[in-house]
Amino acid sequence: MKYFTLLTIILCGCKSSMMFENHTDNSLISQLDRFDTAKLFFKLSEMPKPASAFLKRDHIVLADTGKSYNKTDLNFDYSTPNARIIFGGWLSQNLFFVMYESQGIATQSHLLVFKRNDNKTIDVEQKFIDCRPSTFSDLKKCIN
């Protein structure tokens, strides 16, 4: 009975008010082309809470832009950063993105695009980027 109670507490304690739905059809990523500019951010403290929650769910701990992080892909200590934010940006009130890098054998750039829906779900698309953009216009060139 003790184990059942403990399991119930653990499961109930992990509930999130956000529901993420992963998409793979690049419909969100293609929307980046519609925008000429984005309100960029470079610090974790400026990152939208849904992005932080999504990364935490996937055991990704980010360091701020330019800060050091554990550059191995065999990092099991999630109290230290295992990736680093490059930049992110708001495109509209409900559409934003985060670019981050991780390293293992080679450095990889990751793009996450988030869209908040009216029904409290958040659509998320992920993509590996073959270059490391430093501006929003560079990012648009990388994904085309």
Compute the distance between CA of residue 136 and CA of residue 134 in angstroms, rounded to an integer.
Answer: 7
Distances (CA, A) of 138 to 37, 87, 129: 11, 12, 11
CA Rg value for the chain: 17
Question: What pTM value is reported for the model?
Answer: 0.80
Question: Phi-psi category of 47—alpha, beta or left, where left has phi over 0 and alpha has psi -120 to 50?
Answer: beta
Predicted confidence (pLDDT) per residue in 39-76, tens digit: 999 999 999 999 999 998 888 889 998 888 876 666 66
Predicted confidence (pLDDT) per residue in 74-91, tens digit: 666 667 888 999 999 999
- Domain residue ranges of the chain, discontinuous segments joined by +: 19-143
